[in-house]
Structure 1
Amino acid sequence: MASHYTSLLSRLFGKFAVTSFPGPFQRLINRSYVRLMGLDMSEFAPAESYSSLNRLFTRALKAQRSIDPDPLAVIAPCDALITDLGTISDGKAYQIKGMAYDTAALLGEHYASEAERLEGGNYANFYLSPRDYHRYHAPMDLKIESITHIPGRLYPVNMPLLKNKLNLFIENERVILQAADRQGRRHFLVLVGALNVGKMVVTFEERIHTNTAPGPARHYRYETPISLKKGELFGWFEMGSTIVMLSQKGALEYEIEAGEKVRFAQTIGRLKEDG
């Protein structure tokens, strides 16, 4: 099967983004990108210090942000806009108001039976724009039990397409983390790829290679689950995209609303003690 044009475009842009150009030209590229996208660089190294545009995309924070130590506090996994959040009903969640999608289809065949456990639970969509900090972190203490990579297209996940293209998250390439919280309740973190570069990095799983070639889903289960502490870095997008968080009924309660801008480490909800 041939690659979709969105994947080809993303690979071409990716080659440009990872190239380190001669110093003056690279500094011009970086400064131009910062101005064009309106990046706030106050928490990061100067734009001129990054050796490629991709290094600028995936920049690390200079200092750790403060995290609520309360084990019940749930934090934002990234800097993002909440495009929608709510309750999973009849197996449906929403990419944005009025645009429903099937959670079982989003999770794929490896988690088909798990989707039933999510009925009545919560979903939240975190949209990372090209100007946002691109790294993602654990929103709570989690045990990662398995991970699945589902190849797909790389349509943009911006507001116009969220409002007009059905099943956008399902058509796009994605990486799905199956996890349990401290009480053993089920959560999924779905990393959705997007146009340009289109790569998603998971620090603890080197077998995941996104935006390479079409093929079947790849599923990896861990005999010993991978432990992530709240706030721990577990990867990054190489350009902006979306994280979908799905949680079983009774696991947590959000304290944010659709349309709200959140920052990594901000408390956005609370785990329930009994769920």
Structure 2
Amino acid sequence: MHITNLISQYFGKFAKKEFPSFFQSIINNIYVKSFHLDMSEFRNPKYYKSLNDLFTRELAIQREIELDDDLIISPTDSLITECGALKKDTLLQIKGMEYNVEELLTYHVKKDNLEKVIDGSFMNFYLSPKDYHRYHAPCDFNVSKLIHVPGKLYPVNLKYLNKEIDLFCQNERVILECIDKNKKLFYMVFVGALNVGQMVFEFESAVETNVDAKEIKVYEYEDLNIKKGECLGYFKMGSTVVMIWEKGSIKLKNLTNQKILFGSSISKK
């Protein structure tokens, strides 16, 4: 087991421990103040029984989302670290750090589907420790496959993105293969990171991340339909989502280095 996985497992044990309410309230408030969490859409910090509860908090008020069927919404509250077009079969981890789409998605993706995303579009969503950690559906779509890839748990902050080659391909990740209402292909790649105890998917309880696993697991679905805005699951701590779209299927806004919220549009007609 890599040291990053071991550290994350120990941190995960601490984060899920429920201390007496008085002490837990102190811990929660320290976390909120240290990372400058905006709790205006959530419950009072003392409500949460553990750090995990606070990390994975649900919205206490309904977030307005872009309802236009032709527009794609951000699946997360995050910083867009990179976005744009793939150069044939390569995309950017961050400026100056390229990696291969097949290495990211693995050989469990059919060759025909890999060819569809050549020269396609991509966007990287970085969730910091202060962000809302749940991820949602960017549009109406059908999940055809889930691929769980065990790996390391390097940090995914800007410092590490700039120095660790192929970081997204080294880290543990969960890949969703998706088909939208126009029969166009896209992928959502959920990348684990240091101190991320788990990545949880509400439609697939069999997925267990940050355990001592070595083999890739693949889950296939016949009729798993997801609605735009629906909660897919959550990170236990901050991390990254990479989205990749079939060539010609989307017109992305240039949002690099911009902070965006779940529900806001990331595409244009």
In the superposition, the TM-score normalised over structure 2's length comes to: 0.98
Query: What's 1:153 paired with?
Result: 152
Query: What's 2:218 paired with?
Result: 219
Q: SS at the partner of 1:111?
A: coil
Query: What's 1:37 paired with?
Result: 35
1:193 and 2:192 equivalent? yes
Query: What's 1:77 paired with?
Result: 75
Q: After TM superposition, give the deviation of residue 268 of structure 1 in Å.
A: 1.3
Q: Is residue 17–residue 197 contact of structure 1 (8 Å, CA) maintained in 2?
A: no
Amino acid at match of 2:183: G
- Given candidates 2, 5, 10, the residue that maps to 1:4 is 2
Query: What's 1:210 paired with?
Result: 209
Q: After TM superposition, give the deviation of residue 63 of structure 1 in Å.
A: 1.4
Query: What's 1:239 paired with?
Result: 237
Deviations 1:41-93 (A, max 9, x none): 01000001100000000000011211222111110000000000011112100
Query: What's 2:86 paired with?
Result: 88
Query: What's 1:228 paired with?
Result: 226
Q: Is residue 84–residue 254 contact of structure 2 (8 Å, CA) maintained in 1?
A: no
Cα distance, 1:252–1:149 mapped onto 2, change above 3 Å: same
For the residues of structure 2 that align with 1:248 and 1:151, how far apart are their CA atoms?
25
Amino acid at match of 2:52: N
Q: Is residue 186–residue 245 contact of structure 2 (8 Å, CA) maintained in 1?
A: yes
Query: What's 1:108 paired with?
Result: 106
Query: What's 1:122 paired with?
Result: 121
For the residues of structure 2 that align with 1:257 and 1:223, how far apart are their CA atoms?
34
Aligned residues: 268
Gaps of 5+ in 2: none
Gaps of 5+ in 1: none
Q: After TM superposition, give the deviation of residue 112 of structure 1 in Å.
A: 5.1
Deviations 1:3-34 (A, max 9, x none): 11111100000000000001111011000000
Q: After TM superposition, give the deviation of residue 127 of structure 1 in Å.
A: 0.2
Q: SS at the partner of 2:209?
A: coil
In the superposition, the TM-score normalised over structure 1's length comes to: 0.96
Q: After TM superposition, give the deviation of residue 214 of structure 1 in Å.
A: 2.7
Q: Is residue 140–residue 228 contact of structure 2 (8 Å, CA) maintained in 1?
A: yes
For the residues of structure 2 that align with 1:37 and 1:204, how far apart are their CA atoms?
30
- Given candidates 96, 99, 109, the residue that maps to 2:97 is 99
For the residues of structure 2 that align with 1:110 and 1:242, how far apart are their CA atoms?
21
Amino acid at match of 2:191: V
Q: Is residue 196–residue 239 contact of structure 2 (8 Å, CA) maintained in 1?
A: no
Q: Is residue 137–residue 227 contact of structure 2 (8 Å, CA) maintained in 1?
A: yes
Query: What's 1:248 paired with?
Result: 246
Taking only aligned residues, the RMSD between alpha carbons, in angstroms, comes to 0.9
Deviations 1:109-156 (A, max 9, x none): 101512221011100000000000000000011100010000000000
For the residues of structure 1 that align with 2:119 and 2:89, how far apart are their CA atoms?
9
Q: SS at the partner of 1:269?
A: coil
For the residues of structure 1 that align with 2:212 and 2:110, how far apart are their CA atoms?
24
Query: What's 1:140 paired with?
Result: 139
Q: SS at the partner of 2:267?
A: strand
Deviations 1:160-182 (A, max 9, x none): 00111110000000000000010
Query: What's 2:183 paired with?
Result: 184
Q: Is residue 76–residue 265 contact of structure 1 (8 Å, CA) maintained in 2?
A: yes
For the residues of structure 1 that align with 2:216 and 2:205, how far apart are their CA atoms?
16
Q: After TM superposition, give the deviation of residue 198 of structure 1 in Å.
A: 3.4
